[in-house]
Structure 1
Amino acid sequence: MKFDEFSVGDIFFTNEVVMTKEEIIGFARKYDPQHLHMDEEAAEKTPYGSLIASGFHTLAVVWAEFIKMDILGADSVGGLGAEKIRWRAPVRPGDQLTGEFSIVNTKELSDKSRGVLSIEIVIRNQRNQEVLTAKTEVFVAT
């Protein structure tokens, strides 16, 4: 979608993603090798009592679902960054995650060839519990 097709208040929901134990461990081994993400026995001794997913894994898999929806598509011309990433609750094997992506601000740039979308992200589990929140800004062609 072109920049001017977006409006503040637009909301997009992703398909559900199921977090498997194997994917949690695999992601952790490669990108976030902490014991609570990849060692079940050690994870049982943490305050969480079991294996939990890396927050970066949680964000990555739901972001991928948003991108697969092709809302930004070829009109996406890069990101400015992410901020206020908050891990609200642990994500465990078997959790079913859904992302909500809300347009909270739009800003056309002076060169008029692109604008900036500010997007708030809320990821919830199967109990409708927020597990992650974040905000990102992306460049979109006009």
Structure 2
Amino acid sequence: MPLEFYEDLSIGDTREFGGYTVEKEELVSFAEQYDPQPFHVDEDAAEQSMFGGLIASGWHTAAVTMRMLVENVIRDSSATGAIGVDDLRWRQPVRPDDTLSVKTEVVDKEPWDDNLGLVHSRTTVYNQDETEVMSMIGLVLYQMRDSSSAPEN
């Protein structure tokens, strides 16, 4: 697959991919290290919480999503990194054995400088029941195809 540059992306472009299953052990291990709230690490406490059972940290869901984005979009692109995310939302809990999939859509793009363009990409994450569990707008910098011909300042 040829390397994808800023000019190759159009508003409205979409991709769908995934199939990552969040195992209970991974969910608890991540939370023990990074987000040790009782409903992420303690089954008994989680049962008594508003969630009625163990759930993944939202940060874990975001990390899994990032991995899927790298494997399915970023790896074959000229993306140089992101300047952040907007509108990060955890819509529904992710539970042990949920299988996550991702849909991305380019919602805006603009030149950043003579060499890079900024792509605004909506990322929506779903579980196996097609319930939306997370969404965000990624702000990703992509190399322009022929930045060597860009005018000098």
Query: TM-score with structure 2 length normalisation?
Result: 0.87
Q: Is contact 2:83–2:139 with CA below 8 Å preserved after alignment? A: yes
Q: Is contact 1:14–1:62 with CA below 8 Å preserved after alignment? A: no
Task: Indicate which of 67, 72, 86 corresponds to 1:69.
Answer: 72
Q: Deviations over 1:10-66 (max 9, x none)?
A: 111122110110010011011111111111111000011100000111111022111
- Consecutive unaligned residues of structure 1, counting only runs of 5 or more, are none
Task: Indicate which of 4, 14, 22 corresponds to 2:17.
Answer: 14
Structure 2 residue identity aligned to 1:125: N
Runs of 4+ in structure 1 displaced over 4 angstroms?
A: none
Q: Which moved more, 1:64-73 or 1:82-91?
A: 64-73
Q: Is contact 2:104–2:121 with CA below 8 Å preserved after alignment? A: yes
Q: Match of 2:142?
A: 140
Percent identical residues: 34
Q: Deviations over 1:43-93 (max 9, x none)?
A: 000011100000111111022111112445461112110121111111100
Q: Match of 2:40?
A: 37
Structure 1 residue identity aligned to 2:46: A
Corresponding residue pairs, total: 141
**CA root-mean-square deviation:** 1.3
Query: TM-score with structure 1 length normalisation?
Result: 0.94
Task: Indicate which of 100, 114, 118 corresponds to 1:116.
Answer: 118
Q: Is contact 1:72–1:140 with CA below 8 Å preserved after alignment? A: no
Task: Indicate which of 89, 94, 99 corresponds to 2:97.
Answer: 94
- Consecutive unaligned residues of structure 2, counting only runs of 5 or more, are 145-153
Structure 2 residue identity aligned to 1:138: V
Greater CA radius of gyration, 1 or 2? 2
